């Protein structure tokens, strides 16, 4: 079974839009785990527009499943991860002003930088994952950085799936096969939803984990958070 990690950034966005502590981010993290999610994901950005750095610290005492912190490994982010020591750190090359993640790493161009950062995290016992587009050479580059896993950036798949083009999965299958050959674990995320996650899971060999936030929280507005978490778990079996 592929694990479900719930990204709770959108809960923080809603809280921050009004001030105060409603909805309660820590309670939501507790709830999604109680409902069956096998992990919690956060993606703090330097401007703290949604997840605050203190949120990431506070969640350390709440997340008893897998704790995944995503982000661009700038100095402040590296310090935060080394302080918290989550289960996993996912390195994402997003710019400060990006609304959301919009590209994977060029693991060839940034090879030396990634090697240095990943080595530091691994020395501290933190599993490392590198966000990549479904391009075989970038998967090979991720292996050379010393990463434990890759996270496939799935926006393109989700867009093509929405158009009815099932062939949009093909680059992801090739990338996954290459990752399996190289001994890299495979995670995936971005625009996965109740509509497309089952098809994606069924076609990606060795898919270990999906991280889902925006779609899951949006779907929960209509269907309820507990119900939606369990609907994802059923699709990921």
pLDDT tens digits in sequence order for the chain, 237 residues long: 899 999 999 999 999 999 999 999 999 999 999 999 999 999 999 889 999 999 999 999 999 999 999 999 999 999 999 999 999 999 999 765 554 556 899 999 999 999 999 999 999 999 999 999 999 999 999 999 999 999 999 999 999 999 999 999 999 999 999 999 999 999 999 999 999 999 999 999 999 999 999 999 999 999 999 999 999 999 999
Inter-residue contact 189 to 158 (CB < 8 Å): no
**E strands, 35-99, where?**
39-42, 66-71, 88-91
Query: CA-to-CA distance for 100 and 94, rounded, in angstroms?
Result: 8
| pTM to 2 decimal places | 0.94
Q: Which residues contact 140 (CB under 8 A, 6 or more apart)?
A: 107, 178, 182
Residues annotated catalytic, as ranges: 43, 70, 190
Is residue 73 classed exposed, middle or buried when 0-12, 13-18 and 19+ CB atoms within 10 A define those classes? buried
Name the CATH topology of 3-236: TIM Barrel (3.20.20)
């Amino acid at each position: 079974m592929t694990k479900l990690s719930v990204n709770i950034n959108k809960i923080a966005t809603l809280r921050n839009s009004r001030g105060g502590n409603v909805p309660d981010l820590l309670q939501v993290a507790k709830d999604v785990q109680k409902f069956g999610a096998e992990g919690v994901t956060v993606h703090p950005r330097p401007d703290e527009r949604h997840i605050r750095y203190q949120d990431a610290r506070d969640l350390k005492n709440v997340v008893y499943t897998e704790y995944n912190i995503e982000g661009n490994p700038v100095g402040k982010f590296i310090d935060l991860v080394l302080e918290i020591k989550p289960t996993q750190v996912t390195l994402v090359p997003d710019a400060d002003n990006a609304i959301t993640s919009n590209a994977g790493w060029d693991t060839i161009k940034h090879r030396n930088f990634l090697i240095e950062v990943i080595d530091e995290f691994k020395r501290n016992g933190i599993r490392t994952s590198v966000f990549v587009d479904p391009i075989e050479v970038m998967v090979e580059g991720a292996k050379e950085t010393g990463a434990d896993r890759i996270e496939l950036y799935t926006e393109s798949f989700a867009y093509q799936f929405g158009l009815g083009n099932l062939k949009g999965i093909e680059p992801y299958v090739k990338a996954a096969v290459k990752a399996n050959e190289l001994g890299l674990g495979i995670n995936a995320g971005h625009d996965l939803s109740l509509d497309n996650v089952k098809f994606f899971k069924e076609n990606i060999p060795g898919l270990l984990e999906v991280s889902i936030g925006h779609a899951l929280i949006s779907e929960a507005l209509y269907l309820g958070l507990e119900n939606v978490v369990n609907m994802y778990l059923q699709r990921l079996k």
